[in-house]
Structure 1
Amino acid sequence: MIRLAILASGSGSNAEKIMEHFQHSSKAQVALVASNKADAFVLERAKKFGVSTFTFTRKEMEAGELLSKLQEEKIDWVILAGFLLKIPDQLIRSFPERMVNIHPALLPNYGGKGMYGSFVHEAVKAAGDTETGITIHLVNEHYDEGKIVFQASTAVHPEDTADDIAQKVHALEHRYFPEVIDSLL
């Protein structure tokens, strides 16, 4: 059985969809949900599925405590689902081609440091783009530059607000992220 860990910093709606997808899987299980925020709602979502949780600070992650926990839990794949900290290089090297992230835009557009969540949707709106979407990619040492494994797009209409764009992107994330993870395993 492949053991997955999900790293998330916030509400965890994508994490919940992933836990739902794998809860009865014979291939993989979500064994751990870890967050850099002790009050992140994703931790409550994990409890609903009986998934172990772990919290850590940026300093603890940089000191190797997160890596130690992942090794202790015998994690095979790391899934970033709304995780907002840059992953230390040592952690990335410990999961070569086995760490995957989702980004709320069609990379290489609107990627990089500071480009997450509403900042991305506001940038798409401000640019007048007619489409946006999601990118699922493997993680490397550079923000949002890992090998792209999947993209899906949705139309952006002139009357769409940044919130409307966010809703469309969330629908794509929830639909595709669990399936793409499954196909990568």
Structure 2
Amino acid sequence: MKKFLVGLFISAILIACNNEKPAEQKDESSAVPVPEAKMQPVEFADPKYMEMGKNALAALSKGDVAGWMNGYADNAVFQWNNLDSAVGKAAITDYWTKRRTESIDSITFTNMIFLPVKVNQPQSIEQPGVWLLGWYTVNAKYKKTGKRMIQLLHTDIHFNSSDQIDRVIMYIDRVPVNAAMK
């Protein structure tokens, strides 16, 4: 019993010595300065832009040029990788209306991949703001020849602060297009 009481006494002393109050404990994490969150040059943007891209392509597939153009700003620029371009919503609408009514019998887009990104700090010549990067397969049948053109496309779409498209850059190989039109 004596050993038990001695053991209990020693245990009580050890517990008392090691039982510091939480307020008296040192918070070592506060001693280390927390770095401020640094803005990343590029970050993911809202997934709603992916739906906007899919809806626009669906409208163009149906021949609904007005639906295709619905999200465009009045001052939009549509540029191709060969540096040709259409400037202004009216000019872009005229171009696509003519293509869909006179040249393209049908057009579909498959294997779509969209990546919405927000450019906070441009790394080159790109505009800051939201970009929707799109990759997909286009399958177009031409009216005059009945031939098909199938190829992979890459498109960069920039949105202004009102979520309207103000710049499109389409990377397309004109060789298959020209062959299908001959």
Give the TM-score category using the shorter length. Answer: under 0.3
Task: Please identify the structure whose Cα radius of gyration is greater.
Answer: 2
Q: TM-score, normalised by structure 2?
A: 0.24
More strand by share: 2
Q: TM-score, normalised by structure 1?
A: 0.24
